[in-house]
Amino acid sequence: MILHSKFIKGKIFGLSLTCVFLLTACSGSKPNSSTTQQASSSNSNNTLRLLYWQVPTILNSHLSGGVKDLEASRVTYEPLASFDKDVKLIPFLAAEIPTIENGGLAKDGKSVTWKLKQGVKWSDGKPFTAADVVFTYKFISNPTVGASTAANYEAVKNVEAINDYTVKINFKDKNPAWSLPFVGQNGVILPRHIFEKYNGANAREAPANLLPVGTGAYRVVQFKPGDIIIYETNPFFREANEPAFKRVELKGGGDATSAARAVLQTGDADYAWNLLVEAPILKQLEAAGKGKIDANAGAFVERIVINQTDPNKQTKDGERSSLQFPHPFFSDKKVRQAFNYAVDRDTIVEQLYGVAGRPTANILVLPDTYNSPNTTYEFNLKKAAALLDEAGWKDTNGNGIRDKNGVEMNVLFQTSVNPLRQKIQEIVKQQLTSLGVKVDLKNIDSSIYFANDPANPDTVARFQADIQMFSTGNSNPDPGAYMKNWTCEEIPQKKNNWSKPNSSRYCNPEYDKLWKQSATELNPEKRRQLFIQMNDLLIKDVIVIPLVARATVNGISNRLTGVEATPWDTQTWNIKDWKQK
């Protein structure tokens, strides 16, 4: 679903638009001059100029710590297939989509066979074969690699090459989610001849993590982590018609507002990704006539995650947010419920998102069939205060902060650096403060916050704070891998290099049981109900506070055509088809 900014309307509270054209002061920072200078350094019609204010740091999708890395990787790497916005599977490296009719899908649900395109070459000229698919599975499933995409492959027993152009995926049991492995942004295929020496604890040392060898329309010729990636056309690309652009420049850094300005107002760039900018500001920038806003409604939900462990205590070996130490007040469900009542979702959407988001009480929102009808949200400070009183958290020493048994209700609230997120933080802080909760805000650069570096203490997975906010969702129409994120075995800990996604440290045998049932349930309706029950359990237990079902908002130059977004892959998934008008 594509929504254009001409529909951005409605009542907007407390925003000043007068600063939009004055050095984009509303963003809280000056425009990044290096961003616009670099973007405009190549004015040739043969150059496609992309701006990503979240900086890509690694170009191996299976070692990525965030969507910004997947976006940059996907320009050169490809999966077997991917879903378009209409939930139709589109072949990339596959010759055809498996079905029961063509023999690709086993009737018992225990295997799927993919036929591969022949004559495909990697960007170094080596042939692509089934051996690369088999190796990619071995790489992802190797626990010493610590692949961030491993959850998509846990149902796989093995992958075998029937011949050079046929692979068979055998599952451990009947598997309704056969389209998870090797599909979409988490399914890109790696070249065996490049990564074979790095299939282990040394995976992050592979030079190809920065200079990948892919099968896509473009290849990387230069990558300065934290700055710029330069791609050129892949001379071995299989399609007869070359891509419209000879060169792609992906510039990272700056901020979302200046990125939007570069596309919509000044025309210094062709495309700006993930514009977390207040809707009225985007509308004003679009009025300059250089580009348009596209909002791709998707499965991502901006959420507040509640830490079930104490971030201020540490084990003997220095691990914080450890399962050894339950959180001093979030272990109480009444406290979590109080925080949920204190969040004003409607104001957040009305002031900041416009039509690019809608308030939600669910963590699973797309496809619509999985969007639970059983949940509601309510902003009610009186109910919040009453629950805190019931839980025994009262201001006993008169300093304005609730306390209990000598512990004061101090909360560290962290998220990534972004003006929109900082405004959400302020809205939430204001309401919590009125309840007698002391809130300290922490903002972390996105290249650090969304990194997958076990030595980095400020990542989403390490979660050394009380609550944190970010956006994610299912990247496949089948939500199985996404909903697995809240199972006990997905808790990030020191012993697994904090490589797991369950940052709340939630562990509930009832939830795990539901997920295990869903993993082998072939009846679509029964499986749908299992996912809804999982969603409802997370909401009932207030493990996560969903805020906004948000669209991915991008800025697109008027000279650019062919951009067809899908919620089931990166925004760059069809970059080979992008053209200039």
CATH number of the domain at 278, please: 3.40.190.10
Percent of the chain surpassing pLDDT 70: 92
pLDDT tens digit string along 134-144? 999 999 999 99
Query: What is the greatest pairwise CA distance in the chain?
Result: 76
Q: Looking at 184, 207, 230, which one is the last position of a domain?
A: 207
Q: How much is the pLDDT for 299? A: 93
| Amino acid type, 340 | N
- What is the average per-residue pLDDT within 145-173? 95
Q: Are residues 255 and 351 in the same domain?
A: no
Q: Are residues 544 and 403 in the same domain?
A: yes
Question: What does pLDDT average to over the chain?
Answer: 91
pLDDT tens digit string along 33-54? 344 344 444 446 799 999 998 8
- Say how many C-beta atoms besides its own lie within 10 A of residue 18's C-beta: 9
29 pLDDT more than 50: no
Q: How much is the pLDDT for 446? A: 87
Q: Are residues 63 and 95 in the same domain?
A: no
Q: Are residues 382 and 498 in the same domain?
A: yes
Q: Are residues 366 and 511 in the same domain?
A: yes
Q: How buried is residue 98: exposed, middle or buried, by Cβ count under 10 Å (0-12/13-18/19+)?
A: buried
Q: Are residues 415 and 536 in the same domain?
A: yes
Number of domains observed in the structure of the chain: 3
Cross-strand pairs, 111 = 170
Higher pLDDT, 1 or 173: 173
Alpha helices in 146-233 (DSSP H): 192-195
Bridge pairing between strands 467-472 and 247-252: unpaired
From 78-82, 294-298, 545-549, the region with the lowest mean pLDDT: 294-298
- Say how many C-beta atoms besides its own lie within 10 A of residue 489's C-beta: 12
17 pLDDT more than 70: no
Residue 260 CA to residue 360 CA, distance in Å, equals 26
Q: Are residues 466 and 543 in the same domain?
A: yes
Question: Do 8 and 355 meet the contact criterion of CB atoms below 8 Å apart?
Answer: yes
266 pLDDT more than 70: yes
Q: Are residues 197 and 306 in the same domain?
A: no
Q: Are residues 429 and 565 in the same domain?
A: no
Rounding to the nearest 10 degrees, give the CA dihedral for residues 53, 59, 61, 66.
Answer: -30
- Say how many C-beta atoms besides its own lie within 10 A of residue 90's C-beta: 18
- For 105, the token pair is 């899908």
Q: How much is the pLDDT for 560? A: 96
Question: Do 381 and 342 meet the contact criterion of CB atoms below 8 Å apart?
Answer: yes
Q: How much is the pLDDT for 21? A: 31
Q: Are residues 96 and 229 in the same domain?
A: no
Higher pLDDT, 148 or 487: 487
Does the CA dihedral 127-237-96-82 come out positive or negative? positive
- Say how many C-beta atoms besides its own lie within 10 A of residue 3's C-beta: 17
Q: Looking at 146, 174, 207, which one is the last position of a domain?
A: 207
Q: How much is the pLDDT for 9? A: 33
pLDDT tens digit string along 522-553? 999 999 999 999 999 999 999 999 999 998 89
pLDDT tens digit string along 384-429? 999 999 999 999 999 999 999 999 999 999 999 988 999 999 999 9
Contacts for 5 with CB less than 8 Å, ≥ 6 apart: 279, 282, 283, 286, 292, 293, 295
- For 319, the token pair is 């691990």
Question: Looking at beta carbons, which pairs linking 200-209 to residues 24 or more positions away fall under 8 Å?
Answer: 200/142, 200/144, 200/145, 201/144, 201/145, 203/60, 203/63, 203/139, 203/144, 203/145, 203/146, 203/147, 204/58, 204/63, 206/60, 208/59, 208/60, 209/58, 209/59, 209/60, 209/63
Q: Are residues 270 and 356 in the same domain?
A: no
pLDDT tens digit string along 339-387? 999 999 999 999 999 878 999 999 999 999 999 999 999 999 999 999 9
Q: Looking at 172, 207, 242, which one is the last position of a domain?
A: 207
Which domain covers residue 571, as residue numbers?
A: 1-75+216-290+558-581
Q: Are residues 328 and 410 in the same domain?
A: yes
What CATH code is carried by the domain that includes residue 129? 3.90.76.10
pTM, rounded to two decimals: 0.81
Higher pLDDT, 151 or 361: 361
154 pLDDT more than 70: yes
- Say how many C-beta atoms besides its own lie within 10 A of residue 209's C-beta: 22
Q: How much is the pLDDT for 195? A: 98
